[in-house]
Amino acid sequence: MRVVETFEATRALSEGRTGLVPTMGFLHEGHLSLIEAARDANETVVVSVFVNPLQFGEPDDLASYPRDLDRDVSLAAEAGADVVFAPDESYMYPVRPKTSVSVAGVANDMEGAHRPGHFDGVATVVAKLLSGVQPNAAYFGRKDAQQLAVIATLVDDLSLPVHIVGLPIVRESDGLALSSRNVRLSPAERARALVLSRSLFEAAGSFEAGESKAGALTGAVRAAIAASGDIEPEYVELARARDAAIVDEAVEGEYFLAVAARVGATRLIDNITLDADHGSADRGIHLTGPSMLYEEG
Ligand code: PAF
């Protein structure tokens, strides 16, 4: 496994079909599931580790984003990566880029409305990673369901020759969706945060029992969160998976039911995928024990 800092070095090490797993580091089992899927389908697996300043609105969020490159490198190697591309900020952005990639519509609601400029930052860095690494496929988690729709739209609109693969959310055994930001939660906050997944699972049960109306599904999530006490969701929405359009009903194809909320100072997002063709909900993959986020460093 090699660690490199330039696109040229990454491409020089890429042989045959190449899969890229873009990350901001502080890897957990969710990232490892992406690396393993890339390993199964490609000759070369590249993991990028770059905390992209363009996608952070709040300076504190960027400053406190967890970072540990040595840990990331050994985890990526164990999961089967061939190359870790870990560029410096001065390499990625020697000057503030004058070009910004903006995906209209898909990026407007939910995360886009609550984090202005966030998706422009994501789309710009992903476009740069795809053009610099030139992978055949790139792997993203469905935890960021709207991000996945933004990236798929970007790739379609610009005819980028890369296959975008979205994979299920990985959860702690008690349901909490894995996120590098979870390490910032105190034990009490972590316990309170469980209401997010619990409320989505309740709505998933209603969907599987035949409820397809957005009002009823989002209402169930809101009611469960309200009953638990002091968490105020920023949004609860039912959206089409393909283009993140907010809908009134899940009628055909794939949707996601999404929630965002602050628990203490930490902003969390979660969702479940709803398949309207089969009346089934994907609650993600549950680990059997505590995730590696809780291992002593
Ligand atoms: O999902 C993430 O970790 C980031 O948004 C991504 C896709 C690596 C871009 O910085």
Q: Is residue 47 within 6 Å of ligand 1 at its C-beta?
A: no
Q: Is residue 24 within 6 Å of ligand 1 at its C-beta?
A: yes
pLDDT band of residue 101 (cuts 50, 70, 90) is very high
pLDDT above 70: residue 128: yes
Q: What integer is the mean pLDDT of 247-276?
A: 97
pLDDT band of residue 166 (cuts 50, 70, 90) is very high
Q: Which residues are identified as catalytic?
A: 31
Element (H, E) at 260: strand 254-263
d(CA 104, CA 258): 20
d(CA 225, CA 228): 5
pLDDT above 80: residue 100: yes
Q: Is residue 76 within 6 Å of ligand 1 at its C-beta?
A: no
Tokens of 28: 């957990």
Q: How many angstroms is it from 205 CA to the middle of ligand 1? A: 30
Q: How many angstroms is it from 19 CA to the middle of ligand 1? A: 15
> pTM of the prediction?
0.97
Cα pseudo-dihedral 256, 39, 123, 291, rounded to 10: 60
Q: Is residue 126 within 6 Å of ligand 1 at its C-beta?
A: yes
Q: Are strands 137-141 and 83-85 parallel, antiparallel or unpaired?
A: unpaired
- Which atom of ligand 1 is least distant from the CA of 144? 1
Mean pLDDT across the chain: 97
Q: What integer is the mean pLDDT of 33-59?
A: 97
Ligand 1, atom 6: nearest CA belongs to which residue?
Answer: 23
Domains of the chain are: 2-167 (3.40.50.620), 180-294 (3.30.1300.10)
Confidence at residue 229, expressed as pLDDT on a 0 to 100 scale:
84
Ligand 1, atom 1: nearest CA belongs to which residue?
Answer: 23
Q: Is residue 180 within 6 Å of ligand 1 at its C-beta?
A: no
pLDDT band of residue 248 (cuts 50, 70, 90) is very high
Q: Is residue 125 within 6 Å of ligand 1 at its C-beta?
A: yes
- Sign of the C-alpha dihedral computed for residues 236, 53, 182 and 284 taken in this order: positive
pLDDT band of residue 203 (cuts 50, 70, 90) is very high
- Which atom of ligand 1 is least distant from the CA of 51? 10
pLDDT above 90: residue 230: no
Confidence at residue 297, expressed as pLDDT on a 0 to 100 scale:
60
Ligand 1, atom 5: nearest CA belongs to which residue?
Answer: 122
pLDDT above 80: residue 296: no
Least confident of 22-26, 62-66, 242-246, 257-261: 62-66
Ligand 1, atom 9: nearest CA belongs to which residue?
Answer: 122
Q: Is residue 22 within 6 Å of ligand 1 at its C-beta?
A: yes
Confidence at residue 295, expressed as pLDDT on a 0 to 100 scale:
84
The pick from 20, 21, 23, 124 for probing ligand 1's pocket by mutation, whose C-beta has the most ligand atoms within 8 angstroms, reads 23
Q: Is 187 exposed, middle or buried (0-12, 13-18, 19+ CB in 10 A)?
A: exposed
Q: How many angstroms is it from 32 CA to the middle of ligand 1? A: 14
pLDDT band of residue 210 (cuts 50, 70, 90) is very high
